[in-house]
Structure 1
Amino acid sequence: MYPIDQLKFVLTRWLMAEDLDSLIKNMRLALHDLAQPLSVVAGTVDLMLFESDPKMVYFNEIKNISDNLQSIIEKITAIRQLARQIHSNINSSKPAHSGPELASLNTHGNPFPAQPREIRNFSSKSTG
């Protein structure tokens, strides 16, 4: 690969990562904005459920609404965590330098470093 081609490749990948990073960040903010009012509604419904008598005509409907709201909030939370993980992976794979300096980072092979391996702690702590 010619140096100019490598520079184009690296800059294109870097710009795509920037756009994706911005998209993921905006998605996380939108999900947060969605979760906030849902949490308020879920809290209100839970309070209604707590204050209602199980023999009441609408008790099961209120419980069903509460369960469904909780399920939606859990799904939003899972999507937010996934977006956070993607955001973290994008940022950890970005080159340390920007602009034309990228071309000189690596003249052979992949211009991006491999993902760092997760370090696990297998030592057990003894008590006492």
Structure 2
Amino acid sequence: MEPNQALNDIRRSLHELAQPLAAVTGIVDLMLLEQQGDSPLYNDIRLINERLEKILEIVAHIQAIIRAAT
């Protein structure tokens, strides 16, 4: 496999990964808005939200590296 083809495959895979993650993040954002700070679920939902955002940051960082390499 050509190096550029491999990078393009990775780029497409990252896009496929990021799309559902962004959708889930949006849903979790809405769930967080619906919860009160004293809700037993609030901290769990906030933690899920933080972890999803971190994953999306990592995906974006890898995408930036690939863009710079091509």
TM-score, normalised by the number of residues in structure 2: 0.96
Report the equivalent of 1:125.
none
Larger Rg, first or second structure (1 or 2):
1
Q: 2:49 aligns with which of 66, 80, 98?
A: 66
Which structure features the higher share of helix residues? 2
Q: 2:26 aligns with which of 6, 22, 43?
A: 43
Separation (CA, whole Å) in 2 of partners of 1:71 and 1:39: 11
Q: Superposed, which structure 2 residues align to 1:14-33 within 5 Å?
A: 19-33=2-16
For the residue of structure 2 that corresponds to 1:53, the secondary structure is coil
Please tell me the residue identity of whatever aligns with 2:48.
Answer: I
Separation (CA, whole Å) in 2 of partners of 1:83 and 1:50: 35
TM-score, normalised by the number of residues in structure 1: 0.53
Q: What is the number of residues matched between the two proteins?
A: 70
Q: Which runs of 5+ in 1 are unaligned?
A: 1-17, 88-128
Separation (CA, whole Å) in 1 of partners of 2:68 and 2:10: 13
Report the equivalent of 1:54.
37
Q: Which runs of 5+ in 2 are unaligned?
A: none
Over the aligned positions, Cα root-mean-square deviation in angstroms equals 1.1
